[in-house]
Amino acid sequence: EVQLVESGGGLVQAGGSLRLSCAASGFTLDDYRIGWFRQAPGKEREWVSCIRTSDGVTHYTDSVKGRFTVSSDNAKNTVYLQIDSLKPDDTAVYYCAAERSGSSCWLGYSSGMDYWGRGTLVTVSS
């Protein structure tokens, strides 16, 4: 059974850091691209980043460049999202998603992703 499980969310003060994890099971991570998306209260889901786990190539939405870092540990079948200099606007449920082929991950098209986790909540207080 294919599963993605996010963890690492929580309540943090503005300026702080968090590291989110996305643990994959039921498939080999380096055959997929893994995207991070987030959904703030009352807003649409937003693409954050993508990593091609076979070679570590990454891509980010402009609003998080320089603060978010995505990485993978293929031996652990886990992808990480390091979030630094957190802002209240970063408050959202963060999801990871997997894509076997195509360009949805790179282009940020959530509808094209194959598998989704259930999300982890990040709350940033001012």
**pLDDT tens digits along 53-112:** 999 999 999 999 999 999 999 999 999 999 999 999 999 999 999 999 889 999 888 899
User: What value does the mean pLDDT take over residues 4-20?
Assistant: 98
Measure Cα distances from 9 to 13, 22, 61, 100, 103 in Å: 13, 11, 20, 26, 27
* Cα gap 41→79, rounded to integer Å: 24
Of the candidate ranges 7-11, 16-20, 24-28, the one whose mean pLDDT is the lowest? 24-28
Three-state DSSP class for 12?
strand
CA 122, chain centre distance (Å): 12
Whether 19 and 80 have beta carbons less than 8 Å apart is answered as: yes
